[in-house]
Amino acid sequence: IFVTPRSQVKVLDFGLAKSLPTDTALTVTADIAQTRAFVGTLPYMAPEQLQGRGVGPRTDIFAIGTVLYEMATGRRPFTDEFAPELAQSILNKQPPRPKELNPAIPPRLESIILKCLEKDPQKRYQRAQELLHDLRSFPPPSAMPAFLTRWTFLVPLTCAVAALAIVAGFWLQRTEYFWRNPIGDARFQTVTDFDGTEQAAAVSRDGHFVAFLSDRDGQTDVWITQVGSGQFHNLTRGRVPGLVNPSLRSLGFSPDGSLVTFWSRKQDAANSSDINVGAVPTLGGQPRPYLEGVAEYDWSFDGSRLAYHTPGPGDPLFVSDGIQRSDVHPVFTAPAGLHAHFQLWAPDSSFIYFVQGALPDKLDIWRISPAGGTPERITAHNSRVIYPVLLDRRTLLYLASDPDGSGPWLYSMNVERRIPHRVIPGLDRYTSLAASADGRRLVATLATPKKTLWRLRIADSLAPRDVSAPARISLTTSTGSSPRLGPNYLLYVSATGAGEGIWKLSSETTTTELWSGRGARVFGGPAISRDGRSIAFSVRQQGRTFLYVMQADGTGARIVADSLDLQGAPAWAPDGQSITSAANDHGIPHLFRVPLDGRSPSLFVQEYSLDPIWSPDGRFVVYSGPDIGTTFS
């Protein structure tokens, strides 16, 4: 939005935020120190957008309110420098009142702006017409006090004109008006329903064959079926160990469909150099090497170019002509501690799409030119995002979890408008997704996982013959996860209809709910103090994170930290006077010390750090660092 020297309002490219080249992006958003994530968009996003909820006219009202605030005061409502802090401010903080920044603003205009910026969509204007009516209710300039400056009485008029244009642009671009469900008319049929697990589905380019991993014969193997035949064939028959890796696309087809390819690592592998892509004939035969030293790949639509990444730190992405690899200059390498998986060519070869972020659930889809350059962020889930596929050069399908960890669900997005739409409602959880070259056939795997607790006796000897068989622990709850042992009791996390809670098993059959919260998700698992009398746990609820402590019997629960974006599992300090937990610090997890006496949290470890564990004497703390190249042991 521009105001010319003649006081004319110009709305340019309204509603269409774009990712800009680095120098231009810094010019437009110099006050946001973040790489191409929400260039020109994040400061205007409503809380419900940041939380992954649905958008609508009231979402656009928030964006308009941000523009009006900026026009009336000369600054945005929230001015945090980094994107994570900016998002937290939009979610949780109130902006300064406009009159504090510009005393000449009429009280009525201030109330209009603040109503637009309400956190709760129900408290905002419900329709743009209501906002326009209030903007037009201002007296004409001649009736206003003489002491008001020229700009003061121009503000309402300017706002009214801009609001009309912005409402139209935002509404058309961000509502459901243009979107159509790309699989709304699709026919669905079940391909497999074996006992056990089927996962990592892939479909040949012509859509005739489907490959998948299954443990139907005991060990996980590569299986194949011709669509509609009802016949299934085990291609690897126990000859290839180490086939499962849910963090990348582990199965594929050669361009001509004659080979099924698979990710694998050598048995007893100790480092990433033992990771390769192998292949087996589609009609059966001996497994063979396909791309040695490669973790994942994708062929361009014409089969002439290969995009692949090696398993080194940052998953270096390379592009080669044909199957002859060129590992000299990577197109892209993810920053330290991050990964870049699920490479995918655009149909016209203009971009390579990929999933980048911190495993397992701080991920999003990005794209980059095959010639290199600065990657461009496409989605903004910051959750578990996997298996992107393109039905055409605009229509992207992918799987993504909610911020509370539920899912993954099937999403669709037009990569030009970049509005995520959940395609299929319901509770079906998807684990993989693939598409034929023409986009007319999709294959997906679904899962109905159930979390339960098991007990395994630790023998005096480590010999395999002395290891006892695991025994399932009987629980009165339907699920159980994140077990922690205390003195004469076991803590675990269980989900109820309204959220998750902390449960206590104090005998073989007696379970007690210690704490629960509506819409809450307990992450990282509970931590038990050394004397077993206190419990600490982290909760994500309504887009925020909270660190709780309570007595071992569930009484006295209280929040000891609500200002941190907590990550991972908490740990009690040996003296029992503080909790150590990781928190998002400018996009990187760092360990913080949280005192129990009400003092503010303080930074404890100034490098990438998660999931702390203290030594009994308090001299050392062990923590997880960045995953810069998976080591198997």
pLDDT digits (tens, 9 = 90+) for 382-417: 899 999 999 999 999 999 998 767 789 999 999 988
pLDDT at 570 over 80: yes
Q: Tell me what pLDDT residue 23 has.
A: 34
**Model confidence band, residue 44 (pLDDT cutoffs 50, 70, 90):** confident
Q: Tell me what pLDDT residue 590 has.
A: 94
**Model confidence band, residue 34 (pLDDT cutoffs 50, 70, 90):** very low
**Model confidence band, residue 2 (pLDDT cutoffs 50, 70, 90):** low
Each residue's pLDDT tens digit, 288-335: 999 999 999 999 999 999 999 999 889 999 999 887 777 778 999 999
Q: Tell me what pLDDT residue 232 has.
A: 94
- Residue ranges covered by each domain of the chain: 2-174, 198-447, 476-624
**Identity of residue 183:** I
pLDDT at 593 over 90: yes
Q: Tell me what pLDDT residue 135 has.
A: 84
Structure token digits, residue 203:
């479909």
User: In which order are the strands placed within the sheet that holds 558-561?
Assistant: 521-528, 534-541, 544-551, 558-561
pLDDT at 16 over 60: no
Structure token digits, residue 51:
């939380």
Q: Tell me what pLDDT residue 478 has.
A: 80
Other Cβ atoms closer than 10 A to 126: 14
CA-to-CA distance for 396 and 346, rounded, in angstroms? 10
Q: Tell me what pLDDT residue 461 has.
A: 59
**Model confidence band, residue 235 (pLDDT cutoffs 50, 70, 90):** very high
Q: Tell me what pLDDT residue 137 has.
A: 74
**Model confidence band, residue 277 (pLDDT cutoffs 50, 70, 90):** very high
Select the CATH number that applies to the domain covering 2-174 from these four: 1.10.510, 2.60.40, 1.10.260, 1.25.40. Answer: 1.10.510
Q: Which CATH architecture has domain 198-447?
A: 6 Propeller (2.120)
Bridge partners of 309, per DSSP, are 296, 317
Radius of gyration of the chain (CA): 27
Q: Tell me what pLDDT residue 19 has.
A: 35
Average pLDDT, rounded, for the chain: 83
**Model confidence band, residue 95 (pLDDT cutoffs 50, 70, 90):** very high
**Model confidence band, residue 5 (pLDDT cutoffs 50, 70, 90):** low
* Cβ pair 485, 527 in contact under 8 A: no
Mean pLDDT on 534-543: 91
For 204-250, where are the E strands, in sequence order? Answer: 209-214, 221-226, 233-234
Q: Tell me what pLDDT residue 35 has.
A: 31
Are 198-447 and 476-624 in the same CATH fold?
Answer: yes
**Model confidence band, residue 18 (pLDDT cutoffs 50, 70, 90):** very low
Q: Tell me what pLDDT residue 153 has.
A: 47
Provide, rounded to the nearest whole percent, the portion of the chain with pLDDT above 70. Answer: 80
CATH number at 476-624: 2.120.10.30
Q: Tell me what pLDDT residue 39 has.
A: 34
Helices marked H in 117-192: 128-136, 150-174
pLDDT at 40 over 70: no
The contacts of residue 294 (CB under 8 Å, 6+ apart) are 275, 276, 277, 308, 309, 310, 325
Q: Tell me what pLDDT residue 170 has.
A: 54
Mean pLDDT on 582-588: 87
Structure token digits, residue 384:
């578990």
Mean pLDDT on 240-256: 93
Q: Tell me what pLDDT residue 7 has.
A: 61
The label of the residue with tokens 């946001």 reads: 32
The label of the residue with tokens 């990577």 reads: 330
pLDDT at 20 over 60: no
Each residue's pLDDT tens digit, 487-521: 989 999 998 766 889 999 987 778 899 999 888 88
